[in-house]
A and B are shown apart, each in its own frame.
Chain A
């Protein structure tokens, strides 16, 4: 891969984005931010950005314009490493921001800088099945049964897919107390997977539009979106008794905000996500809010699932990535003959 080339293109592209915003240079009272995020947060950040712009105007009199960039979480992290001028990153998993911190754009302890592991919203992994639940899928054990076809993306290329995998592994390890059994379980699970799309949206289309599979493993917010987009008369959500607490973290890219002089507004932007107003928007977009009062208000949308954290079962993201998803890891092993 020609890194220099990509770097130049991304810088050029971000310059074009920045210069295309009216008055960005002329007026000192206008400030611009670039939020580099992952795929399914489009709708969420559209609403949050409008709300924050109003809030910031009221607080400081400054106009803030926030550009969004969306794509697969790993690819977005790579773009930032290679020079995409993000002020803040809001990605699918901590490992991707760890990778950015490896290139010294932000300090290694970035995740301790904001409350709740720097995740103002969480989600979990649930099942989407066809209406009437013809295969009688209730929990994790049902999806490894022979004859059940499971749709989930490729953990090598999709952040969501890694959460799916870790949810299944964590369930079995907690239930049986044994990593060996968890591995057997994962092997049986992926035996039921007929196609590994490269991203979570790809899997959604495979399941909902192309009619493949009996059950789709999906982010809770994505599951709600499927019901909304494709009709709740065609699909239903099944919440397993146990699942993983998926924490998509947010962070300021220190080097970039220092260069742009946008640290103050970038910090305010991320802190804003924790306010009751922003938490409300989060809940409306089917992400689980951190604020207990907001969560209570929207409790009907979020079934009671026993959630375990990644750190509880896997230590941390770096270890999980290395053991399970890097080349030669457990995921590779289960496909070898």
Chain B
């Protein structure tokens, strides 16, 4: 019995060559730089490592980073789906303008976004003034962080759902309705299964981006220890103490948790796709 029972023909020739390139580029761009984090942490030793990553301030920052990124990703999932729907299914004047607007968070330096939010929601800002009257605090609270992360993650969701939604044939929905399905049933049974993988991918990207986001958040977070300090700020402040090993340690834990979550989500996606195919 041979290892490859049947040689499949591919459009692009040379699996060996292309795989070689893939591995090389992934190594040069992703693995080698990231492995530096690992190698910087090794000289630290086990006990100082544990001490560094379980300090109450660090733990609080992990909790904050992951929870705010999660909330932002969930919100982006909902609003992103809606936006993609409107942009794909309706034709209206100014649609292309709106479409281009979606990408803006990609292009804008995140620090600019952060400063805009901080100014807008400050007690003397346009929105902040009204919100302060109602005793709603956005700036310098975890809510402020979520607001910034929603902005940052939004295009990921819209841009992953859009092409999939364009593929869905409207005839299928019409058929479902002819067969007596309610709108909700059509959405749940016909549309959602189609869109779910894209929705999950988009939200995952938004989530991953949110965990690492620094530039926009520090302007709106308030950066109070134990309350509104995000994990990337902990890394920066350790670097400012010339504590390279400590910074690498915090980064390593962040990396491992993020990577496990991404792996898990990928697995969910694969399982989900099998389920519906």
Contacts and interface: CB of A to CB of B under 8 A. Distances in A.
B117 to A, nearest CB: 11
B225 A335 contact: yes
Interface string B121-156: 011110000000000000110000000000000000
Interface string A302-330: 00000000000000000001000111100
Interface in B9-34: 33
B266 interface: no
Interface residues of B toward A: which range?
Answer: 35 or more
Interface of B: 33, 36-37, 40, 52, 55-57, 115, 118-119, 122-125, 139-140, 218-219, 222-226, 233, 235-244, 246-248, 251
B241 A1 contact: no
B119 A209 contact: yes
Of A75, A77, A102, A210, most B-chain CB atoms within 10 Å: A210
Contacts of A196: 222-225
Given A1-B239, A154-B223, A198-B236, 8 more contacts: A75-B239, A75-B240, A102-B242, A194-B222, A196-B223, A198-B218, A198-B233, A337-B226
A2 B33 contact: yes
Contacts of B52: 327
B246 A195 contact: no
Nearest to B60: A335
Given A210-B124, A327-B55, A328-B55, A157 B226 contact: no
Contacts of B226: 335-337
Given A5-B36, A196-B223, A210-B122, A335 B57 contact: yes
A55 to B, nearest CB: 35
B57 A202 contact: no
B223 A197 contact: yes
A141 interface: no
Contacts of B236: 157, 198
Contact of A195 (B115, B125, B222, B239): B222
Of B235, B237, B238, most A-chain CB atoms within 10 Å: B237
Of B115, B240, B241, most A-chain CB atoms within 10 Å: B240
A202 B225 CA distance: 17
A194 B237 contact: no
20 contacts: A1-B37, A1-B248, A3-B244, A4-B36, A72-B240, A75-B239, A75-B240, A77-B242, A157-B237, A193-B224, A194-B222, A195-B139, A197-B223, A198-B233, A210-B119, A212-B139, A326-B241, A327-B238, A335-B224, A336-B226
A252 to B, nearest CB: 21
Contact of B124 (A74, A211, A335): A211
Given A210-B122, A211-B123, A332-B57, A202 B238 contact: no
Main secondary structure of the interface of B (DSSP, over half): helix
A1 B223 CA distance: 22
A81 B240 CA distance: 12
Of A1, A74, A99, A335, most B-chain CB atoms within 10 Å: A1
Interface string A211-229: 1100000000000000000
Contacts of B233: 157, 198
A18 to B, nearest CB: 26
B256 to A, nearest CB: 16
Contacts of A332: 57, 225
Contacts of B33: 2, 5
A78 interface: yes
A156 interface: yes
Nearest to B240: A74
B122 A211 contact: yes
Nearest to A325: B241
Contacts of B224: 193-196, 335
Contact of B40 (A1, A102, A206, A212): A1
B91 to A, nearest CB: 42
A325 B240 CA distance: 10
B248 A212 contact: no
Given A4-B36, A154-B237, A202-B219, A212 B122 contact: yes
Contacts of B237: 154, 156-157
Contacts of A195: 139-140, 222-224
Contacts of B123: 210-212
Nearest to A194: B140
Nearest to B124: A211
A74 B55 CA distance: 23
Interface string A138-169: 00000000000000001011000000000000
A2 B36 contact: yes
Contacts of A3: 36, 40, 244
Contacts of A5: 33, 36
Contacts of A202: 219
Nearest to B119: A210
Contacts of A210: 118-119, 122-125, 139
B194 to A, nearest CB: 41
A81 B124 CA distance: 41
Contacts of A209: 119, 122
